[in-house]
Amino acid sequence: MRHLFLILFACFYLQINAQDWKTTTYQKNGWGIDSPTIIDKKKRNVLLFSEAAIYTVSLVGLNQLWYTDYPKSSFHFINDNGEWLQMDKLGHMTSSYYSGVAGIKAYKWTGMKRKNAIWYGGLTGTFFLTIIEVLDGQSAEWGASSGDLLANTIGSLLAIGQALKWNEQRIQLKYSYSPSEWANKNTEQLGGNHLQRALKDYNGQNYWLSFNLKYLFDIQTTNFPQWLNVAVGHGANGMLSAYQKKNDSPRRRQFLLSLDVDLTRVKTKNKLLNTVLHSLGFIKFPMPTLELSNGKLHAHPIYF
């Protein structure tokens, strides 16, 4: 995914700032409906200015880095749903999800009605990523992807649905990366250094659904750790290009089961440390893991 770096930059920026936003506490009226709140216009303007700045910088950067050197075309779609064993689609979903999580908190911070804040904020990622699809669709080199649009929407709806039901995220999408043996065989597509490979080498990436045990299953035991999660993940290996070529090694999917730590629920007495931990909450914590691939089960003492 050519533009993943700027997408993650936008998500990370929103996540860091969201830690300092104290959201509005909503009260229920006699009919069980959120009482009206008054929007703080100053906060609203700060939020809108910040979003506009992020979108502008990101889109201008994308245009300069990837689109200016390629010819334009009429808007068109391509079918890339078979590429990279759908790992790129999981990346879109995760980026959209975390943009939505941060967006919900930001819109609540302005004093907007709870449901409006959830919908407007939760669709932040889909809105941003849809603009990028429009740019792709007008480039002769690429094209808009219906699979990307669907993945973006699913990520947003995961954030929105949980906020509406629980007012928090009990199921999180997470990301992890470890260097793969395949990147050196195609540095142009998979990256020439570790930063590039963390964004481009789908062989080294894993995407996870991480379930918080205490709050998802309403465990009442006071000593049960609120930060303990169970995660199921998907990875892939053996991919030198988007599609399998004749002389390539066989590619395979990896299905993963692991424990995890919800860093957003870890509290310390140090505010700066809390901010750092919570901002890194999108990363799957290294833990013992079971892997199912090629019909065989493998156990990893520590897996990232």
Predicted local confidence at residue 20, as pLDDT: 53
What contacts 53, CB < 8 A, 6 or more positions away? none
Compute the distance between CA of residue 221 and CA of residue 97 in angstroms, rounded to an integer. 30
pLDDT of 295 higher than 80: yes
Q: Which of 3-7, 118-122, 169-173, 265-269 has the lowest mean pLDDT?
A: 3-7
Q: Which of 162-166, 278-282, 293-297 has the lowest mean pLDDT?
A: 278-282
Predicted local confidence at residue 195, as pLDDT: 82
Predicted local confidence at residue 125, as pLDDT: 87
Written in H, E and C, the secondary structure of the chain is: CCCHHHHHHHHHHHHHHHCCCCCCCCCECCCCCECCCCCCHHHHHHHHHHHHHHHHHHHHHHHHHHHCCCCECCCCEECCCCHHHHHHHHHHHHHHHHHHHHHHHHHHHCCCCHHHHHHHHHCHHHHHHHHHHHHHHCECCCCEEHHHHHHHHHHHHHHHHHHHHHCCCCEEEEEEECCCCCHHHCHHHHCCCHHHHHHHCCCCEEEEEEEEHHHHCCCCCCCCCCCEEEEEEEEEECCCCCCCCCCCCCCEEEEEEEEEECHHHCCCCCHHHHHHHHHCCCECCCEEEEEEECCEEEEEEEEC
Predicted local confidence at residue 252, as pLDDT: 95
Tens of pLDDT along 34-56? 444 567 788 888 888 888 887 78
Compute the distance between CA of residue 153 and CA of residue 165 in angstroms, rounded to an integer. 18
Predicted local confidence at residue 265, as pLDDT: 95
- Residue bearing the bigger pLDDT, 81 or 60: 81
- Residue bearing the bigger pLDDT, 141 or 144: 144
- Residue bearing the bigger pLDDT, 11 or 32: 11
pLDDT of 21 higher than 60: no
Compute the distance between CA of residue 199 and CA of residue 189 in angstroms, rounded to an integer. 11
Question: 262 and 285 in contact (C-beta within 8 Å)?
Answer: no
Percent of the chain with pLDDT over 90: 58
**Region 278-298: what's the mean pLDDT?**
94
Q: Break the chain into its structural domains and give their ranges.
A: 1-168, 170-304
Predicted local confidence at residue 32, as pLDDT: 40
Predicted local confidence at residue 84, as pLDDT: 95
- Residue bearing the bigger pLDDT, 244 or 13: 244
**Region 193-214: what's the mean pLDDT?**
93
Predicted local confidence at residue 14, as pLDDT: 53
Compute the distance between CA of residue 197 and CA of residue 182 in angstroms, rounded to an integer. 10
pTM of the model: 0.88
Cα-Cα end-to-end distance for the chain: 21
The CA dihedral of 198, 126, 103, 157, to the nearest 10 degrees, is -100
- Residue bearing the bigger pLDDT, 199 or 3: 199
**Region 71-94: what's the mean pLDDT?**
94
**Region 149-164: what's the mean pLDDT?**
97
Amino acid found at 199: L
